[in-house]
Amino acid sequence: MLSIKNLSVQYEEKLAVDDISIDIPQNKITGLIGPNGAGKSSLIKACVGMISEYSGEILYDEKPLHKNRHWVKEHCSYAPEDTVLLPFLKGREYLELIGTLRKTADLDNEITFLFKMLNLHDKENELIINYSHGMCQKISIASTLIGKSDYLIFDEALNGLDPIALYNLKNYLNELAAAGKTIILSSHILALIQDWCDPIIIMHQGKILKMVSKEEIARMESEKKQSFERIFIELVK
């Protein structure tokens, strides 16, 4: 489990994350939504160790992040919105490099599976510099999935994926969650978050407004006679 206790992140005068405490469950795909500037990316970056200046605690399996950064790097994989790849490697070469660094067993078969799953199998031997934006997103996601880390965190990383890749990725993430992985998925696409995730965390102005299950969302929609999209908009007005 990933536990966040009284976490605050501040950039000069701006309080990006404001005293958040929450437990992210294992065996689930947890959704994270909120308007621009809500603090989602700051929360995620703090959790993956990209922000070192914060107050509060971030615990992975009860291990404090600030004392166990090496352990977290070994057990947590992160896919950012903006891809950071090695453009003069071929797609397969890049995944081989990442998989080797993670000491991934049966690496060749896993890479082949990921290329097929993400509908990129005919491009694996092309240079990354020649990839489209969507193809680069797929390679970034594949590099996050290589080795099946215990914690998988996606920050707006699904933008640009085609319907086949999205369908296959949804099914695969559900399999990983059922196998015990802890998965966080941040996106502005409310329909995707509502479909893929349970529970869903709603952030606004650095705080968590609600953490709701699919059952709670269905009940809210029924009681208010409104869509989840409309309920979300009213919450963050």
The first and second tokens of residue 106, run together, are: 């049966």
Quick one: average pLDDT of 138-161?
A: 95
Confidence of residue 124 (pLDDT cuts 50, 70, 90): very high
* Distance from C-alpha of 223 to C-alpha of 173, rounded to nearest angstrom: 31
Write the pLDDT tens digit of every residue in 11-70.
Answer: 988 899 999 999 999 999 999 999 999 999 999 999 999 998 899 999 999 999 989 999
Sheet with 14-24, side-by-side order of all strands: 14-24, 2-11, 55-60, 63-64
> What's the burial of 222, exposed, middle or buried (CB within 10 Å: 0-12/13-18/19+)?
exposed
Helix H segments across the chain?
40-47, 69-75, 91-101, 107-117, 133-145, 163-178, 190-196, 214-224, 228-235
Phi/psi of residue 26, each to 5°? Answer: -80, 165
- When divided into structural domains, the chain yields a total of 1
Across the range 102-109, mean pLDDT stands at 93
Please check the confidence at residue 159 and state whether its pLDDT lies above 90. Answer: no
70: number of Cβ within 10 Å? 9
Residue 82, amino acid: D
**Residue-number span of the structural domain to which 34 is assigned:** 2-235
- The neighbouring-strand residues paired with 204 are 207
The reported pLDDT for the residue numbered 60 is 95
Residue 13: predicted pLDDT: 83
- Residue in 42, 80, 64, 13 with CA at minimum distance from that of residue 208: 42
Which pLDDT score is estimated for 136? Answer: 96
User: d(Cα 34, Cα 24) in Å, to the nearest integer?
Assistant: 17
pLDDT recorded at residue 52:
84
In degrees, to the nearest 5, what angle opens at C-alpha 98 toward C-alphas 96 and 103?
A: 90
pLDDT (mean) for 214-225: 91
Instruction: Report pLDDT digits (tens) over 13-30.
Output: 889 999 999 999 999 999
pLDDT digits 0-9 by tens, 162-182 = 999 999 999 999 999 999 999
**Residues in Cβ contact with 69 at an 8 Å cutoff, skipping those fewer than 6 apart:** 49
For residues 122 and 168, give the distance between their C-alpha atoms in angstroms, rounded to a whole number: 16
- CATH of residue 49: 3.40.50.300
Q: What share of the chain is helix, strand, coil (3-state, %, to 5)?
A: 40, 25, 30
What is the Cα–Cα distance from 176 to 180, expressed in whole angstroms? 7
**Percentage of residues of the chain with pLDDT beyond 70:** 100
- Selection from 70, 42, 72 nearest residue 59 by Cα: 72
